[in-house]
Chain A
Amino acid sequence: MSTLTEAPPPLSPTAPEKKPPRRRGRWTPYWLLLPGLLWLLVFFALPMIYQASTSVQTGSLEEGYKVTWHFATYWDALSEYWPQFVRSVLYAAAATILCLVLGYPLAYLIAFRAGRWRNLIMILVIAPFFTSFLIRTLAWKTILADGGPVVGALNTLHVLDVTSWLGWTAGDRVLATPLAVVCGLTYNFLPFMILPLYTSLERIDGRLHEAAGDLYARPITTFRKVTFPLSMPGVVSGTLLTFIPAAGDYVNAELLGSTDTRMIGNVIQTQFLRVLDYPTAAALSFILMAAILFMVTFYIRRSGTEDLV
């Protein structure tokens, strides 16, 4: 921006006596940011303050709620609902890993091997978004129905005996088990993994692969030393985009799960709408936010990609 102020005076002879160049640029970025900042203020900062306030209030619907700085709500909520917290993190982590395992090869294929099919495959990845999230999740109930062909096949192959033994499923069914919830999460958030992976893989210069080959790297070594490190920004943003919403999700656990697969999102929903315990619901939301923030910060530090995301 400083180059603009130091630009040589215009050569045009028609305007010899020009005003000194305007000091443009100093405030411009802030003006441009204003709409975004206002949006953040109204739809993020204010609700956060309101929520924070709610979490330290006590009272009831009839008597109204007053701020009493009752921080014990946080401790009570955490000691009561820690299993659901742990479960949310485990399920979200499992779904993220599954998304990465499934999404990476697909993103790789689209980026390097798909050729003229690239656009078609991309559309296939995005197409499910044209249907409602709820409808897609409900469709899984039909696919995984107890008497359906999928469960029948898994039973014939004795796969469900193994998962049952591991505690992932119960008896000879898939629905209303942890496995169903994790599969639902994986399915619903897979595109959030594939898209960032694809963007960062697609940017890799094909000549780097040739160079690695010229230097006698085997394909696997090329992948390990060149492709994967260069795709790290995609891996990091993909895992974040998958993990964060998955940890707070409650639709999958509600529709595909059972009483022992309820996640923290379900608890917050129940507390807020059913039990009408607004302080506990607000406190749980804050604990979830803090936990995710903490884990994400740790993760970014560890993966050393602070500058990449």
Chain B
Amino acid sequence: MEQYEPDRLTPAQVAAMRRSLRNGRAAMTRRSLLRASAGGALTLGGLGALSACGIPAAGKTEGGTSAEDHSAEEKTVSFSNWTEYMDVDDSGKHHPTLEAFTRRTGIKVKYTEDINDNNEFFGKIKPQLAAGQDTGRDIIVLTDWLAARLIRLGWVQKLDPSNLPHAYANLSSQFRSPDWDPGRAYSYPWQGISTVIAYNKKALDGVEVKSVSDMLDNPKLKGRVGFLTEMRDSVGMTLLDMGKDPGKFTDDDYDAAIARLQKAVDGGQIRRFTGNDYTSDITSGDFAACIAWAGDVVQLKADSPDVDFVIPDSGYMTSSDNLLIPNKARHKTNAERLIDYYYEPQPAAELAAYINYVCPVDGVQAELAKIDEDAANNPLIIPDQAMQAKSHAFRSLSAKEETAYEAQFAKLTGA
């Protein structure tokens, strides 16, 4: 019975076939090809290429920082922001405040929610900015320390105060002069962030948590405490708890705070360090208590009544997300007009009523009261004096300190 099927050859036939493939003229086995291309790549690209591709020093942008401003002829501005950081109407498709801006000025806003994490976003825009190219974005929103780094590197443009009358007049005093951008020459805050302690009543089961010490020392909470991967929030809250001022601490203070946290990690007290995903852990009760951002907790509370937050007596950390115009942005004037627009009390109030973060605009309370009476009296949105007295900001770090501290903190989180 001759029933040849090519995939049912005997081993001997297979071997013969392979031999012929290998030894024939057209023989081009995968292995020889791999060898050839690897060898080729090494000799061609080779060691010369290895030394040719260093990374140039940051900040030495060729041809200045600003591109030609196309604001007058191109009535558009592209705005990169974090997710859920803008008011949305009921259909979920429209941003009322942005649309009002377009109606008034004729400037179309290309709004993109493409920032998820400061570090990741920095990795994303770094190549263009380092090479002195346009990132395609006119406004970006970054947290203090990253904004400070971009200013330090010379990657963002100085703002023109004459385009920012409202912003200049209405910026709350507590945001006016951070040490990394005195007088707000390069940045304006989008929203303020308060870092507090969140807890899940059901998971706590009667245990009282009022301070970072309670979180780190109570054996009943072993393995059910969460901290943030955001170094300044986790270490800042710990420093406050230890009676130190995060605004002016020393290397020794920092080491002490890290040692305190390390003890809790080694003892299994701290379950894990999280980014924004702590929200699922605290609602499910896997975290009984964790360091959290107040704006999130206000939103979480609405859905899960067990979740609440507490502000420690020792104080809490504040920071802000800041509007910046990167180098070579094409529509600088349009961007400045948009920034200024959000410092008018009415749009600011509309935004604050929706997103529940700290509003950096003075005179917004009356406007907010018209929309939402509760929000206007919420110290988390419009901080009262007692709240302001407890707020602390992390001091800005030099490049060297930043690298060293981040490395130490990375080791704490398991590297």
Contacts and interface: CB of A to CB of B under 8 A. Distances in A.
Given A170-B268, A259-B265, A62 B45 contact: no
Contacts of B122: 273
A64 B55 contact: yes
B210 interface: no
Given A2-B24, A203-B7, A62 B50 contact: no
A173 B123 contact: no
A2 B25 contact: yes
Contact of A266 (B54, B277, B280, B415): B415
A260 to B, nearest CB: 6
Nearest to A25: B26
Contact of B119 (A60, A266, A274): A274
A220 B101 CA distance: 76
A262 B407 CA distance: 15
B272 A258 contact: yes
B415 A270 contact: yes
A276 B153 CA distance: 14
Nearest to A203: B7
Interface residues of B, number: 55
Contacts, number: 146
Contacts of A255: 277
Contacts of A49: 41, 45, 49-50, 53
B222 A171 contact: yes
Contacts of A173: 223, 286
Contacts of B50: 49, 52-53, 56, 67
A141 B285 CA distance: 11
Interface of B: 7-8, 18, 24-26, 28, 33, 37, 41, 45, 49-59, 119-120, 122-123, 152-153, 203, 222-224, 229, 265, 268, 270-273, 277, 280-281, 284-286, 399-400, 403, 406-407, 410, 412-415
Contacts of A126: none
B403 A275 contact: yes
Given A258-B272, A274-B410, A147 B223 contact: no
8 contacts: A1-B24, A40-B37, A59-B54, A138-B280, A145-B286, A171-B222, A257-B272, A258-B414
A54 B55 contact: yes
A2 B28 CA distance: 14
Contacts of B403: 60, 275-277
B58 A64 contact: yes
Contacts of A59: 54-55, 57
Contact of B272 (A54, A259, A267): A259
A25 to B, nearest CB: 7
B145 to A, nearest CB: 12
A69 B50 CA distance: 10
B223 A176 contact: yes
Nearest to B277: A255
Contacts of B7: 203
